[in-house]
A and B are shown apart, each in its own frame.
Chain A
Amino acid sequence: MGKHDLLPGTLDMMVLKTLTRGTLHGYAIAQLLRQLSDDVLQVEEGSLYPALQRLELNGLVEAEWGTSSTNRRARFYKLTAAGRKKLASEMERYREMTGAIARVMGLA
């Protein structure tokens, strides 16, 4: 099974989703995304950072510096209330979309 590029626009949503598990730093988010997708989704790990900056600017996540489990200085991201709301609406939209695409493709 090959590796696939992300559907456009879905990275932000998935980052928000991983953060529902708690406060995470960038690397942990990348790890989680990889593990959760069983290595199918091919994300250039660096792409995470522009996305995180974007989310932070729009007030969907908050960030602060802290120390990682291996005693490294790292920046930890946390979902905000606005982020939760955004995630819910994004997931709703996503469900509608995939449902619709699946119906069109005759898989439903």
Chain B
Amino acid sequence: MMFRRILMRLRYWLHHSRRDRLLREEMEAHVDLKAEELMNDGMDQANARAAAMRAFGNILLKQEESRETWIARWLGDLVQDAGYGLRTLRKQPGFAAVAVLSASLGIGACSTIFGVANYALFHPLPVQEGERLVSISNRSLTRGKVGSVTWPDFEDLRQARLLEGATAFFPFLPATIGIRGDPQHHWGSLVTANYFDVVRPAFLVGRGFDATRDDRPGEPVVVVLSYRLWNSRFAGDRSIVGRTIDLNGRKVTVIGVTAPGFRGTESMFFSEFWVPFSTTQNLEQFGMKADRLQDRSSQWLQVVGRLRDGVSQQAAAAEIDAIGTHLRSAYPATNKDRGFYVERAGQVHPGFRNLIRLFFLVLLGVTVLVLLTACANVANLLLARASSREKEIATRLAIGAGRGRVVRQLLTESLILAALGGAGGYAVAQTGVRALARARVPLSLPVDLSMSLDYRVTLFCIALSLLTGVAFGLAPALRATRPDLVSALKERRTNGTTGRRVTLRDALVVGQVTVCTVLLICCGLFLRSLQAARNIDPGFAHRNVLLLAFDPGLNGYRPERVRALLDAVTDRVAALPGVQAVALTSSVPLNMEGTQNAFVPAEGEDSVSADIYSVSPRFFETLGIPFLSGEDFRPGGAGEDIVVVNQAVADKAYGGENPTGRRIRYLGRSVRIAGMVATTKSRTIGEEPRPALYFSLLRELRGNDSLSGMTLLVRTSGDPGGYTAVVRQTMRDIDPELALFEVRTMEAQISRALYAPRAAAALFGIAGIVGLIIATVGLYGVISFLVARRTKEIGIRMALGARKVEVLAMVMWRGVAVTTAGCAAGLALALAVSRATASLLYGIHPSDGVTFVGAIVLLHVTAVIACLVPARRAASVDPVGTLRCE
């Protein structure tokens, strides 16, 4: 019954024009009958007809009421409103374009950020029943820091009864994979052999590890490749399964390739291959010390567990907590304040979470500001339009349209704008996400930002469009339907510029200018910071230096063979024509990563923390770091255990006295200070002088457990980039299996060190420029509108003798006043923001005068330009014409 009724209503509605006609006919027949009857009673025709009409009531209204019973009225109204809205927008393409563009930019920016956050936070792992996977980390009970797990703790964790299985892995395993003499550097994971049983990704070909066999000593070493690695390095060759490939100079057998999309369980990091371990033999093969499997203090593993079917995460967390309690009492020495932390797997690595969170917060803050300015703009445009349609709206209200009905119609228009803006925003978001995915983060870690938009982003876009549509449409709509009818109908008020209508519009523009000021000042500060950073002296000669990183340990070099390799490399590269000096170092200055450790300057004194470098002889010469006293390491590295310190060590640990010749205690060794060099920038361009200790690389090579190997520094005459090919070839001649990674010039390295301020400057720059465009359009709109409304007043003024210049000044003054108000508010905000970001700024004061004054000048110049057109229009008002036409 219900269903039939709905169908009937729909049919009525579909045929509503015909039904309308018939209903009308029926009603008219009624009136005619009545009139006829009255005439029969002796009334004349005109009177009879009038009386019949009177008795009937308002035909139109009755018709409307009847129609209402056919279908919920709003549906018909909606179609009508949408049609009307579209027609009005088409008649004002300029207005529509500006509004839609503003909304697109705002919605697009927000959706991009949402898309990234969504991917990082919610992207489901492409594995079977991924919701049952949990990631288990250590948590420090005192500091709350979340981190990796030790092997002995993992052995206890995997006993948890509520877990079907648990796997431990080390996700940052660097390796060299060689294919026909083309060795390349890749990142993989070292995993327990049950990894694929626990995680269960889909396989393209082959299989995962056999937990009972694949990590036993004596079995052949096997590897699983990711789709990405298989596709890029092995050209998607399915017959690869069962064959051996060259991994770190050893033959390993490929047993499977995972399906596309699977990149490991860590969000934002990727794994290109997986090798099994759990025996000391496998560990050593990958350059790790075997005693890590007994060490209760070495936290290096990520743990992922699979919950038993039907077990909740809370229940498992409780059991795992109990294991943590047990471990605390059983091993107080190492586990004293260590607990466990259980969460859904596939999230951002806990060590980076705060950083990522901060990153998203800053991004979100900036984009919300942009969206707000965009909304203000559209609201302003709508307000302006509503005011100019005052008469139309007043007429509609006067002939009986309900206020709600008119508000709804105006809202429909703003929603159409917002919907178009949302569609544009989605396109912007797609471009934005793609651009972000291409961004290379300058860390030597396997970071992967590639991502896609899913239905959540689409929903977000739609929701945001609706929200902005209502947000920027409601106030203008309510305002427009409120005028007092009589005066609006009679004539426009001549002094329409006074009164509250303008205050709201002005306030919106002031708000836009405020936001714009903040964004521009932030951008300016970072740009100035970059400029300052470029001009500072890193403390070493950074031009004409080529850097090549390699890791002999990955290629199976034993320490005794490494020395021969390094000798060959330095000798042969140094012999190349144009090469002035060659050196090796464990870490490169301004790399943002590196070892830091404490040393004791003299027996009984407090230890001092310093950056630790292991360098070859001629390192200081190659980088042009001057010796202040003492001498360099001798070739060969044999003999006494010595260290070179920098000036900062003398200042921090020895009260500024030259410590050459004294002895320090470092890692239990007594080391003689052989020399002192000038202080260079070590981690970041903006840092205060940091103490650094330089040890002999050749001495330190024994038992080197380092992650990123070493870097060859080549000082060249002329552009170092031109030497890349010949140095590569020389290295290949020495060992064709040796992978070179991160080949770059020192200048590129330094500009990488400026990544954070550059990214910030770019972000604020883009946001600032978008904001500026939006605010300019807003200001232009407000002033144009003002001029249009005051045409008559201006005409009178000019008729009474006002000069063109005065009119021009009057209009311009208005625009400048609004801008100045916005700037003032923006300055106050920007001061607060720049204080907060002071740690990211180098070489300038957070309230840098040039930036602040520059932003104010830029805004005012833009404001003047935006006002110039309408102001000239005002000045060219023809007084006679205006007055006559009114």
List of B residues within 8 angstroms of A37 by Cβ: none
Measured CB to CB, the closest approach of chain A to B504, in angstroms, equals: 41
Given the interface contacts A57-B70, A72-B32, does A47 sit within 8 Å of B62 by beta carbon? yes
The interface bits of chain B over 24-48 (1 if a CB of A lies within 8 angstroms of the residue's CB, else 0) are: 0111011011101000000000000
Q: Which residues of A contact B (CB under 8 A)?
A: 25-27, 30, 44-47, 49-50, 53-54, 57-59, 68, 70, 72-75
Q: Is the CB of B66 within 8 A of A27?
A: no
Given the interface contacts A58-B5, A70-B36, does A46 sit within 8 Å of B56 by beta carbon? yes
Q: Is the CB of B62 within 8 A of A46?
A: yes
List of B residues within 8 angstroms of A73 by Cβ: 25, 29
How distant is the Cα of A45 from the Cα of B70 in the complex, in angstroms? 20
Q: Is the CB of A45 within 8 A of B56?
A: yes
Q: Is the CB of A46 within 8 A of B58?
A: yes
List of B residues within 8 angstroms of A27 by Cβ: 29-30, 33-34
Q: Among the listed B9, B12, B27, B55, which residue makes an inter-chain contact with A49, where contact means beta carbons less than 8 Å apart?
A: B27
List of A residues within 8 angstroms of B57 by Cβ: 44-47
Q: Which residue of A lies closest to B27 (CB)?
A: A49
Measured CB to CB, the closest approach of chain B to A23, in angstroms, equals: 15
Q: Which residue of B lies closest to A82 (CB)?
A: B1
Q: A49, A54, A74: which has the most chain B beta carbons within 10 Å?
A: A49
Measured CB to CB, the closest approach of chain A to B17, in angstroms, equals: 16
Q: Is B23 among interface residues, defined by CB-CB distance under 8 A?
A: yes
Q: Is the CB of A74 within 8 A of B29?
A: yes
Q: Among the listed B34, B55, B69, which residue makes an inter-chain contact with A54, where contact means beta carbons less than 8 Å apart?
A: B69
List of A residues within 8 angstroms of B27 by Cβ: 26, 46, 49
Q: Among the listed A50, A72, A75, which residue makes an inter-chain contact with B69, where contact means beta carbons less than 8 Å apart?
A: A50
Q: Is the CB of B33 within 8 A of A50?
A: no
How distant is the Cα of A59 from the Cα of B70 in the complex, in angstroms? 13
Measured CB to CB, the closest approach of chain A to B7, in angstroms, equals: 11
List of A residues within 8 angstroms of B26 by Cβ: 26, 49, 74-75
With A53-B66, A73-B25 known, 16 other A-B pairs at CB within 8 A are A25-B29, A27-B29, A27-B33, A27-B34, A45-B57, A46-B58, A46-B59, A49-B23, A49-B63, A50-B66, A53-B23, A53-B69, A58-B5, A68-B33, A74-B33, A75-B29
Q: Is the CB of A50 within 8 A of B62?
A: yes
Q: Is the CB of B29 within 8 A of A72?
A: yes
Q: Is the CB of B33 within 8 A of A49?
A: no
Number of B interface residues at 8 Å Cβ cutoff, please give it.
28
Measured CB to CB, the closest approach of chain A to B15, in angstroms, equals: 13
Q: Among the listed A30, A49, A54, which residue makes an inter-chain contact with B62, where contact means beta carbons less than 8 Å apart?
A: A49
Q: Is the CB of B65 within 8 A of A50?
A: yes
List of B residues within 8 angstroms of A72 by Cβ: 29, 32-33
A–B pairs, 17, beta carbons within 8 Å: A25-B29, A25-B30, A44-B57, A45-B30, A45-B56, A46-B56, A49-B23, A50-B69, A53-B70, A57-B5, A57-B8, A57-B69, A58-B5, A68-B33, A74-B33, A75-B26, A75-B29
How distant is the Cα of A44 from the Cα of B34 in the complex, in angstroms? 13
How distant is the Cα of A59 from the Cα of B1 in the complex, in angstroms? 10
List of B residues within 8 angstroms of A70 by Cβ: 33, 36
How distant is the Cα of A73 from the Cα of B33 in the complex, in angstroms? 11
Q: B29, B33, B68: which has the most chain A beta carbons within 10 Å?
A: B33
How distant is the Cα of A7 from the Cα of B62 in the complex, in angstroms? 19
Measured CB to CB, the closest approach of chain A to B10, in angstroms, equals: 11
Q: Which residue of B lies closest to A52 (CB)?
A: B66
Q: Among the listed B12, B29, B59, B61, which residue makes an inter-chain contact with A57, where contact means beta carbons less than 8 Å apart?
A: B12
Measured CB to CB, the closest approach of chain A to B19, in angstroms, equals: 9
Q: A46, A47, A68: which has the most chain B beta carbons within 10 Å?
A: A46
How distant is the Cα of A26 from the Cα of B29 in the complex, in angstroms? 9
List of A residues within 8 angstroms of B36 by Cβ: 70
How distant is the Cα of A97 from the Cα of B68 in the complex, in angstroms? 29
How distant is the Cα of A45 from the Cα of B579 in the complex, in angstroms? 107
List of A residues within 8 angstroms of B68 by Cβ: 50
How distant is the Cα of A49 from the Cα of B23 in the complex, in angstroms? 8
List of B residues within 8 angstroms of A53 by Cβ: 23, 66, 69-70
List of B residues within 8 angstroms of A58 by Cβ: 5
